[in-house]
A and B are shown apart, each in its own frame.
Chain A
Amino acid sequence: MTSPPPPWALLAELTHSCPLHCPYCSNPLELVRRSRELSAEKWADVLRQAAELGVIHTHLSGGEPLLRPDLAAIVAAAESAGIYTQLVTSGVGLSAPRMSALASAGLRSVQLSVQHAGPAASDRIAGYRSFAAKEQAAAVVRDAELPLGLNVVLHRDNLDAVDAIVDLGVAWGAERIELANVQFYGWALHNRTALLPTRDQLSRARETVESRRQQLAGTTELVWVVPDYFDGVAKPCMGGWGAVSLTVAPDGGVLPCPAAGALPDLEVPNVRDRSLEWIWNSSPAFNLYRGTEWMSGPCGGCPRRETDFGGCRCQAHALTGDAARTDPACALSPDHALVRALAEAPPDDLPPDDARRYVYRGPRPARRERSRG
Chain B
Amino acid sequence: MTGWRPALARSVVLRHDRVRRADLLVLPERVVILGGRAADVLRLCDGRRQVGDIVDELAARFPGAPVAAEVPRFLDRVREEGWLR
Q: Which residues of A contact B (CB under 8 A)?
A: 6, 8, 52-54, 56-57, 82, 84, 86, 108-109, 111, 145-147, 149, 175-176
Contact = CB atoms under 8 A, between A and B. Distances in A.
B13 interface: yes
Contacts of A52: 19
Interface of B: 10-11, 13, 15, 17, 19-20, 24, 26, 28-29, 31
Q: 8 closest Cβ contacts across the A-B interface?
A: A54-B19, A109-B28, A147-B11, A84-B26, A147-B28, A6-B19, A56-B31, A109-B11
Contacts of B19: 6, 52-54
B20 A84 contact: no
12 contacts: A8-B31, A54-B17, A54-B19, A54-B20, A82-B15, A84-B26, A86-B29, A108-B13, A146-B11, A147-B11, A149-B29, A175-B28
B76 to A, nearest CB: 14
Given A8-B31, A56-B24, A149-B28, 14 more contacts: A52-B19, A54-B17, A54-B20, A56-B17, A84-B26, A86-B28, A108-B11, A108-B28, A145-B10, A146-B11, A147-B11, A147-B28, A175-B28, A176-B28
Contacts of B13: 84, 108
Nearest to A5: B20
Contact of B20 (A6, A82, A86): A6
A146 B10 CA distance: 8
A278 B29 CA distance: 27
